[in-house]
Structure 1
Amino acid sequence: MSSDFVNIDFEPELYKLESKTSFNKEFEYIYFFFEGKKLKNIRDYPKDYLEFLKHLGLEIPELSPRDLNPKDWWGELSEKSRVLNSKITALEIAQENGFCPTGVREVKNIEDIEKILKSNPDRDYFIRDPYLAAGNNSLILSLKNFNKKKLSNRLNERSLVMAPYFRRLMDLGFIFGQSEVEVLWNLNSKDGKFKGGIVYKDFNDLFNFIEKKWGFNRDVIWDAQHKIYDLYLKKGAEGLIQIDSFLYKEENQIKYYPLVEVNYRKSFGLFINRLRAFLSPGGVGIFLNFATKDLSPCENFAARLEQLTTLLYQNEKGVIPLSPQDGLFSSFFVSGETLAEINVMAQKIWDKISIGKRPFSPSLLLDQFIL
């Protein structure tokens, strides 16, 4: 049996883009939370970390670092993937089917961008790279901070997606291709970078929250998502696909942008939904991802557990360290009964393990959502 290779660096390889940083090694641990049998691991895993995973009830796959013919596990490198993962494809489908807000467009040269900015000199816009994931290369742009040279260099390589800067209220991801449609509340920074995610044991609780908070009907959301999924099936999509969307406020109205982009591969939304297994009935959890350099150093994984001892997961509540302690990033999952509870717990975790040089990420604060 061949092993699985966790090719997180999927987009740069798929579109043959230069990338300064590789994330394959950093997020390879995700594989342990699925039911894979054999992993082509490119890093070593401490014994105390693997024992902790077993304590959680996970089955450790066979580790096969010397396998010369592994299968790509995160995503398939194919022409179909190139087309279906592209934000240009998502934009075209959205425009053709009435799922695109006014002003979202593909821009191919710097003159187009400059013309748009000058026509609305006081308005902010949002630029997205059509081929990169997790908000990489995204930026907020206005005439005041327009860097013509920097954007010209990027446009020499490929076109970009440009949109008015929307006042986003909530980012939602929908994962199709399994026995049930899974949903993730994405936590993104103002400039579109993925910072974390929230998942409910029962997705109805998320939509109850949306209707109570903003009065937006869940049927509108679900109807759009199923139509978009059908459109991608007609384009040849098979297996897993995540459709990203968001609610936003414009002219005192709550609106929905149902097709921002698509991940035609496995995704962090899929992974975070695997963590629903650690939630109680009616529970909610938050995935946190911190730069390890901002945390107190640990000689081993046991030391990280010791730091968190009073907050560790038990009886379906508390924090689960997800990743080894020695990577560039350290990931955690916090399980609780309410948003208020996981909000407080997430900040307690930061206070306990951070070195105190940076504040807790504003993108992860849930105060504005506590009803």
Structure 2
Amino acid sequence: MEKVAWLFDADFEKRLFSSQKLPFISTRENQEFEYLIHFLDPDKTIFTHKTYSKSYKEFLKKFTQKDFKTTNNRDFLIKPWCSPYTQTDILKVYQSKLEAYQILQRHGLLENNFSLIQKKENLKENKLYKFAKNSSGRGHYIFPRDKIRLEKLLDNNEVLIEEEIYQRVLDFSTLIKNGKAVKVYENIVDDHFQYRGTMISKDFKLNKEFEKKYQDVQSEIIKMLSDFKGVFSLDSFLYQKNEQIFLFPICEFNMRKTMGYIAYQLQQKYFKEQDYFALVLTRNRKESPQDHDSLTLLSPMDNLFYVYAAVAPSELELKKLISTLF
């Protein structure tokens, strides 16, 4: 039987939209979160060129009760973990923000009006611009703050999506597997719309009006993707305008295993008795996290991001704990 090793393909979008078939390479980007495969699938061997310390491997074994297995041997069959890259025609359409927006608009499911920008002179102040081929929460820019980056994209003949800047009050995602909604969870995002974690709470719910609207949209999307087998998620948010709260039922698709997926699987596997759980990404190191009953540092100490599992007795306490990590 052929030996298999798994690559954490954090470069999913780059690989998906490449005009060439890219080799599976253990880059720094892919190494950043590869250890999380072990927490969810501890029997899997990870393909990597990264060297892990003895103390970290001992921590993993104590946590999962399994040896941490890695290899850089290319005699192994290397498989991507975040997506199998089957049904690539569907993946490309829905992962592209541009094509996804156009599909949602045709089906009457898009909440906002948007414009397509191809020239630098059409950039407007205080508008949000999205690069179609970046992952969720990335490729979001504001003019003139991100003027250089936006102009570079347009110089490379890329098309940008222009939309209003919403005063978001809650970001959330729905995990869908094989046509069924599995879990809704809150996203932790920063002021630049960058993902910083997932919070899973037994109390999460929309009000009756928003819930009906959201379920109607979600049902239509699941029908649209009825032929897709595998995992994907929908990003949504609540926003405030003129002192009222509104629902933006779908803003992006994530056609792969996301950090939200990982957070949910971690909670189910190791923290199932906890009603309030979060997976948090931060560049701030919490001193002696293992001495804190509510925090567990999951990542190696030499990574760019420190990744913590956090638990608390209530949603309020969990949010307070999360705030100490930034």
Task: State TM-score, norm by structure 1.
Answer: 0.75
Aligned to 2:193: 192
Q: CA offsets, 1:154-188, max 9 Å, x none?
A: 12331111110011111111111157512221111
**SS of residue in 2 equivalent to 1:248:** strand
**SS of residue in 2 equivalent to 1:223:** helix
Aligned to 1:48: 55
The reply to whether residue 67 of structure 1 matches residue 68 of structure 2 is no
CA distance in 2, matches of 1:134, 1:326: 25
**SS of residue in 1 equivalent to 2:184:** strand
CA distance in 2, matches of 1:272, 1:196: 8
Give the deviation of 1:332 after TM superposition: 0.5
The letter of the residue matching 1:295 is R
Q: Are the aligned partners of 1:33 and 1:271 in contact in 2 as well (CA < 8 Å)?
A: no
**SS of residue in 1 equivalent to 2:35:** helix
Aligned to 2:106: 96
Which of 286, 289, 305 is the matching residue for 2:278? Answer: 286
Q: Give the paired residue count.
A: 310
Which sections of structure 1, spanning at least 5 residues, go unmatched? Answer: 297-303, 313-317, 351-359, 361-371
Give the deviation of 1:37 after TM superposition: 2.3
Q: Are the aligned partners of 2:175 and 2:231 in contact in 1 as well (CA < 8 Å)?
A: yes
The letter of the residue matching 2:271 is L
**SS of residue in 2 equivalent to 1:70:** strand
Give the deviation of 1:91 after TM superposition: 0.4
Matched ranges for 1:187-226 at <5 A: 187-200=188-201, 202=202, 205-207=203-205, 210-211=206-207, 216-226=209-219
**SS of residue in 1 equivalent to 2:174:** strand
Matched ranges for 1:280-359 at <5 A: 281=273, 283-291=275-283, 294-295=284-285, 307-312=288-293, 318-348=294-324, 350=325
Q: Are the aligned partners of 1:10 and 1:75 in contact in 2 as well (CA < 8 Å)?
A: yes
CA distance in 2, matches of 1:22, 1:81: 24
Aligned to 1:29: 35
Decide whether aligned partners of structure 1 residues 216 and 281 sit closer, same or farther in structure 2, where only a CA change above 3 A counts. farther
Q: Are the aligned partners of 1:90 and 1:259 in contact in 2 as well (CA < 8 Å)?
A: no
Q: Are the aligned partners of 1:284 and 1:336 in contact in 2 as well (CA < 8 Å)?
A: yes
More strand by share: 2
The letter of the residue matching 2:285 is L
Give the deviation of 1:309 after TM superposition: 4.2
The letter of the residue matching 1:7 is D
Q: CA offsets, 1:15-65, max 9 Å, x none?
A: 239xxx841011111101222522223322223223323333454464232
CA distance in 2, matches of 1:308, 1:283: 21
Once superposed, what is the RMSD of the aligned Cα atoms?
Answer: 2.6
Task: State TM-score, norm by structure 2.
Answer: 0.84
**SS of residue in 1 equivalent to 2:55:** helix
CA distance in 2, matches of 1:280, 1:5: 27
Q: Tell me the percent identity.
A: 22
CA distance in 1, matches of 2:6, 2:14: 19
CA distance in 2, matches of 1:134, 1:162: 16
Any runs of at least 4 consecutive aligned residues in structure 1 with deviations exceeding 6 A, and if so which?
A: none
Q: Are the aligned partners of 1:170 and 1:246 in contact in 2 as well (CA < 8 Å)?
A: yes
CA distance in 1, matches of 2:65, 2:241: 45
CA distance in 1, matches of 2:118, 2:235: 24
Which of 104, 115, 130 is the matching residue for 1:105? Answer: 115
Give the deviation of 1:282 after TM superposition: 6.0
Matched ranges for 1:150-189 at <5 A: 150-155=149-154, 156-177=156-177, 181-189=182-190
Q: Are the aligned partners of 1:33 and 1:58 in contact in 2 as well (CA < 8 Å)?
A: no
Aligned to 1:16: 18
Q: Are the aligned partners of 1:130 and 1:160 in contact in 2 as well (CA < 8 Å)?
A: yes
The letter of the residue matching 1:206 is F
Decide whether aligned partners of structure 1 residues 268 and 219 sit closer, same or farther in structure 2, where only a CA change above 3 A counts. same
The letter of the residue matching 2:96 is S
More helix by share: 1
Aligned to 1:251: 242
The letter of the residue matching 1:262 is F
Decide whether aligned partners of structure 1 residues 103 and 274 sit closer, same or farther in structure 2, where only a CA change above 3 A counts. same
**SS of residue in 2 equivalent to 1:3:** strand
